[in-house]
């Protein structure tokens, strides 16, 4: 979920092509059918006075997470000019929001623990979910979470699981859990997320500790344990793990489930694994940034994304766990029967959320991460 995106500058729709454009799978044909007229990636903005009268919308979102075709179709339908900026970690999002002038962005897409942090620091606008016609499509199990109990500031988009995948032709035995990433047999052959909280989090889990522990002794143990993985890590990548798996640049990957699933569709030897320790999970949300200059357009966009056919189109191209129950009816059994896309109740129960940390605790995690990546 970076390079050109990290500038944070707004990019008008149609001014770029995503790196995912080379990986169009057969599902894209279905996506086009679902939306019945999506404009292809890189299409031009809607022209004429309608577009200028409708105003604009400034998004700051994860890379590799919202299909360009969906952004383009919203722009074409409404005449609203959509400008997009990208980030690769929740910490990137937070730092950019802190440094930019209030009102620079309208919509942001933080994960669960970051929602809590942004609420606490008064960095989000309240949402009137009663004004969202399609809000009822979200399954009840994805609402009322501890980070925003009344969904006063957030609307669920997708759930990303940090799972595992391996190329069975490149390893001698099946990979079963996060603990395998520390096996010295896999020197210089592993790709991991470029994300301090996720990588240190799984290290904590392997040690039998809470993924978000703040205990100094447990963090010291995590720092020592993490260094035993250092020689194994060949690639840090939160954006495009599927490319490295498909090309054979790595044998094992710890990354977001959609990246791993897309790779397995291209290479039959690539197998997805739900980690035995329980998967780190991010529930990602639509939120409106404090001081948003285009609040009404932001609400229109959120309601548009909640439409069943639009949400289904997002999952067709970028197969994360979808909390939109009406979209699941469209996606059908091929999606719902795939545990990598739609985890079993037992798997969901064993998933691990990342907690919001105090400033001091976050600094401890960043110190461990900096030492690990030296």
As a three-state string, the secondary structure of 130-183 is: HHCCCHHHECHHHCCCCCCCCCCCCEEEEEEEEEEEEECCCCCCCCCCHHHHHC
39-46 mean pLDDT:
35
What are the tens digits of pLDDT across the range 110-146? 999 999 999 999 999 999 999 999 999 999 999 999 9
Closest CA to 84 of 111, 112, 65: 65
Instruction: Find the angle CA(172)-CA(178)-CA(181) to the nearest 5 degrees.
Output: 50
**Distance from C-alpha of 193 to C-alpha of 237, rounded to nearest angstrom:** 5
pLDDT interval class at 49 (50, 70, 90): very low
In the predicted structure, residue 21 carries a pLDDT above the cut 50: no
335-351 mean pLDDT:
89
DSSP annotation string for 189-256: -EEE-S-HHHHHHHHHHHTTS-TT---HHHHHHHHHHHHTTGGGEEEE-SS-HHHHHHHTS-SEEEEE
Q: Where are the domains of the chain?
A: 4-159+283-342, 160-280+351-373
pLDDT interval class at 339 (50, 70, 90): confident
For residue 124, what pLDDT is reported?
A: 98
Query: What is the chain's mean pLDDT, rounded?
Result: 88
Contact status, residue 255 vs residue 241, Cβ threshold 8 Å:
yes
Beta strands in 14-97, from DSSP E residues, in sequence order = 56-62, 81-87
Within a 10 A sphere around the Cβ of 191, how many other Cβ atoms? 25
What are the tens digits of pLDDT across the range 234-284? 999 998 999 999 999 999 999 999 999 999 999 999 999 999 999 999 999
Do 4-159+283-342 and 160-280+351-373 have matching folds? yes
Q: Answer whether CATH 3.40.190.10 is correct for domain 160-280+351-373.
A: yes
For residue 340, what pLDDT is reported?
A: 87
pLDDT interval class at 342 (50, 70, 90): confident
For residue 205, what pLDDT is reported?
A: 98
For residue 324, what pLDDT is reported?
A: 97
In the predicted structure, residue 31 carries a pLDDT above the cut 90: no
pTM score of the predicted model = 0.81
In the predicted structure, residue 50 carries a pLDDT above the cut 80: no
For residue 10, what pLDDT is reported?
A: 53
Which CATH code fits 4-159+283-342?
A: 3.40.190.10
For residue 37, what pLDDT is reported?
A: 45
What are the tens digits of pLDDT across the range 211-239? 999 999 999 999 999 999 999 999 999 98
What are the tens digits of pLDDT across the range 64-111? 899 999 999 999 999 999 999 999 999 999 999 999 999 999 999 999
* Percent above pLDDT 70 for the chain: 86
What are the tens digits of pLDDT across the range 155-178? 999 999 999 999 999 999 999 999
Instruction: Find the angle CA(89)-CA(226)-CA(244) to the nearest 5 degrees.
Output: 55
Please report where in the chains the tokens 């200059």 appear, as a residue: 293
DSSP state of 324: B
In the predicted structure, residue 301 carries a pLDDT above the cut 90: yes
Closest CA to 169 of 280, 245, 74, 106: 245
In the predicted structure, residue 13 carries a pLDDT above the cut 90: no
Q: Which residues pair with 57 in a beta bridge?
A: 82
**Distance from C-alpha of 154 to C-alpha of 160, rounded to nearest angstrom:** 16
């Amino acid at each position: 979920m970076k390079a050109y995106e990290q500038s944070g500058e707004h990019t008008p729709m149609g001014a770029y092509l995503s790196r995912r454009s080379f990986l169009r799978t057969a599902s894209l044909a279905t996506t086009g059918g679902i939306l019945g007229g999506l404009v292809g990636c890189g299409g031009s903005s809607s022209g004429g006075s309608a577009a200028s009268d409708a105003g604009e919308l400034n998004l700051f979102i994860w890379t590799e997470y919202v299909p360009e075709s969906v952004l383009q179709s919203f722009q074409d339908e409404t005449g609203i000019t959509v400008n997009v900026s990208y980030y690769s970690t929740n910490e990137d999002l937070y730092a950019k929001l802190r440094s930019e002038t209030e009102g620079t962005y309208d919509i942001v897409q933080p994960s669960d623990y970051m929602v809590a942090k942004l609420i606490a620091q008064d960095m989000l606008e309240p949402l009137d979910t009663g004004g969202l016609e399609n809000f009822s499509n979200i399954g009840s199990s994805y609402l009322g979470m501890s980070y925003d109990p009344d969904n006063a500031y957030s609307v669920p988009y997708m759930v990303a699981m940090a799972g595992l995948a391996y190329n069975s032709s490149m390893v001698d035995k099946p990979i079963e859990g996060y603990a395998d990433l520390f096996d010295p047999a896999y020197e210089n052959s592993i790709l991991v997320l470029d994300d301090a909280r996720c990588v240190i989090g799984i290290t904590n889990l392997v040690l039998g500790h809470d993924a978000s522990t703040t205990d100094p002794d447990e963090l010291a143990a995590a720092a020592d344990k993490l260094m035993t993985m250092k020689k194994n890590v060949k690639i840090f990548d939160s954006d495009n793990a599927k490319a490295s798996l498909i090309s054979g640049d790595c044998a094992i990957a710890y990354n977001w489930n959609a990246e791993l699933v897309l790779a397995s569709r291209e290479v039959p030897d690539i197998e997805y694994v739900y980690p035995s320790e329980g998967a780190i999970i991010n529930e990602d949300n639509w939120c409106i940034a404090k001081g948003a200059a285009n609040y009404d357009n932001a609400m229109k966009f959120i309601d548009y994304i909640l439409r069943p056919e639009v949400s289904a189109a997002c999952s067709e191209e970028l197969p994360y766990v979808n909390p939109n129950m009406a979209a699941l009816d469209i996606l059908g059994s091929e999606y719902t029967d795939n545990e990598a896309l739609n985890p079993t109740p037992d798997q969901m129960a064993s998933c691990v959320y990342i907690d919001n940390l105090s400033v001091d605790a976050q600094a401890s995690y960043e110190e461990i991460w900096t030492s690990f990546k030296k």
